[in-house]
Amino acid sequence: MKNLLAYFKNYKLESILGPLFKLLEASFELFVPLVMAQIIDVGIKNRDMAYIMGRGGILVLLGVVGLACSLTAQYFSAKAAVGIGTKLRNDLFRHINSLSYREIDIVGTSTLVTRMTSDVNQVQAGINLTLRLFLRSPFIVFGAMIMAFTINIKAALVFVVAIPLLSVVVFGVMLMTMPLYKKVQKQLDQVLLTTRENLLGARVVRAFNRQEDEIARFGRENDRLVGLQVFVGKLSALMNPVTYVIINGAIIILVWTGAWQVEEGVITQGEVVALVNYMSQILVELVKLANLIINISKALACANRISGIFAQESSIKEKQDCAETGPKETDLAESTPRVEFRNMDFYYAGAKEPSLSGISFSAFQGQTIGIIGGTGSGKTSLVNLIPRFYDAANGKVLVDGIDVKDYSLSCLREKIGVVPQKAVLFKGSLRDNMKWGKRDATDEEIYRAIDTAQAREVVEAKEKGLDLLIQQGGRNLSGGQKQRLTIARALVRQPKILILDDSASALDFATDAALRKAIKEDTKDMTVFMVSQRAATIKNADQILVLDDGKLVGLGSHRQLLDNCQVYREICLSQLSKEEVAR
């Protein structure tokens, strides 16, 4: 929470002027009952129309000046709140992008989305209301009580009793509701998670005809959220009627005692009306204060949740004296592997057993490395360690003879082109998407990469060339088209290391074969890692890594592994004919 207070430093002036103008407005408002008392006791009593009009003019003037102060306060408060909200959202987005895969796995995507949207909006609204009302409402409450004492000390004693009672109610409700609002926001995470899973898996849900089950699951999560919100709402709703009862009871006592004092000549009728007006002002301000406290409770709960995200630090640490470039290509000895794993172990967060253990191999410049194994054998985990999306628990991962932990992340990933399992394209033109790999790429370079990725027909079929508009997530493209374009995007960079993580799974065998041939011919100096479930895709690789249950059970060429690796032989025989296996 303390970290969030630092955001006020750029809005110090607005944070001071907003409450200041609200206090000025409140000051003018406190004079209104006194002017009304004078109109009743002097103007109406003496039937002096000129006096009444004069005091009426003062009331109008107080109203106009108060309105001007109020609008000015609203402007400064809104400017500070929106500015802080914008900066907070930007910093939170930047921080989330600095987290490694490990932290994102732990926190969860739906939680991060809630923090970025709902929680930041609640904090922004809380800041706005706080700057406008946090000083104004207490000022009016205690100011009205002081003004009441200037009118009549005995009558004002009612205020001394009423205000503490009201404070107990207001702050008691606040203490009860604040922890409950945290639960509400946490349940909102669950609703968002359910919604996100259902939308992302809409095709699977329909394929298995599970719409009713998903509707029921969403209904259960939503009902829990509604139940919590209703319960908190009932507690919060107690505030208004209880405060009204206390205030109206105080007004009854005030009018009753005031009537006797007027009869005895101790107090005037105008002063009784002024006292009632002050009590009414206290009622209005305490209702505002009650709503303010509810909103502050929500904002504080959300601020603590946001602080929790800021407290998450990336497990990927860059050294201050990290290698910026590594060895030059001309200095790289032929005996130095492009990528090397030395007895590497890797654990996912919270896992008791390693996902990868004892992995050792070397990949040299220009080699194609095939990686194959059963589902969950650790293929994707292995290639994710090369660009340092995760860190190894033990052992080392080296690129160009240097530990990846000794590189800056930007320098390391500049060497690597990654095509993930799930093809992701962003909304915008095809040219913009292709330039993700290289910002200054020319159209000629882009088309060369598109040709290598066997995607030229995709571009030509759309008849808009590189100006083709890609919809969000590439919705206007098929799975195979998206895969080929994501491969082209990685090739535009001309990386030293190319990682294809099962990125041709949606391609037919002919296109897959043409793609492999083009990559081999056009990327002679690249070290290419091909992760695949298909034996045909990787059997011509220079080296093949066979993974089974997180262990490297086979390393060598297709021929060598057929003779020495039972797991590889079984995979090949299950997918290929004996003639294809023998080739």
Residue-wise pLDDT tens digits, 398-453? 999 899 988 888 888 888 999 988 888 888 898 998 998 788 888 899 999 999 98
Contact criterion met (CB below 8 Å) for 542 and 523: no
What is the phi-psi region of residue 366: left when phi exceeds 0, alpha when psi lies from -120 to 50, beta otherwise? left
174, 215 Cβ separation under 8 angstroms: no
Amino acid identity, position 194: T
Cα 128 to Cα 22, 122, 346, distances in angstroms: 12, 10, 47
Asked if 286 and 247 count as a contact pair (C-beta separation under 8 A), the reply is yes
Looking at residue 393, the DSSP 8-state letter turns out to be: S
Distance, CA of 502 to CA of 374 (rounded, Å):
13
Q: Is the dihedral of CA 58, 63, 68, 72 positive or negative?
A: positive
Q: Is 210 exposed, middle or buried (0-12, 13-18, 19+ CB in 10 A)?
A: middle
pLDDT at 497: 93
Dist CA 188 CA 434 (whole Å)? 37
**pLDDT in the model for residue 353:** 86
CA distance 474 to 300: 39
Helix (H, G, I), strand (E, B) or coil at 31: helix
- Structure tokens belonging to residue 302: 């959300």
CA atoms of 242 and 170, how far apart (whole Å): 9
**What does the alpha-carbon distance between residue 551 and residue 135 come to, in Å, rounded to a whole number?**
65
Which residue carries 């995007």 as its tokens?
A: 489
Residues 6+ apart with CB under 8 A from 341: 359, 360, 361, 362, 382, 385, 395, 396, 397, 398
pTM (whole model) above 0.85: no
Which residue from 320, 437, 316 is spatially nearest to 388, judged by alpha carbons? 316
Give the separation between CA 412 and CA 391, rounded to whole angstroms: 13
C-alpha 144/C-alpha 151 separation (Å) is: 11
Identify the CA nearest to 168 among candidates 246, 111, 221: 246
Identify the segments of the chain with pLDDT beneath 50: 330
Q: Which residue has the tokens 């968002």?
A: 192
CA distance 78 to 82: 6
In this prediction, residue 81 carries a pLDDT of 92
For residues 173 and 235, the answer to whether their CB atoms sit within 8 Å is yes
Give the pLDDT confidence score for residue 330 in this predicted structure. 45
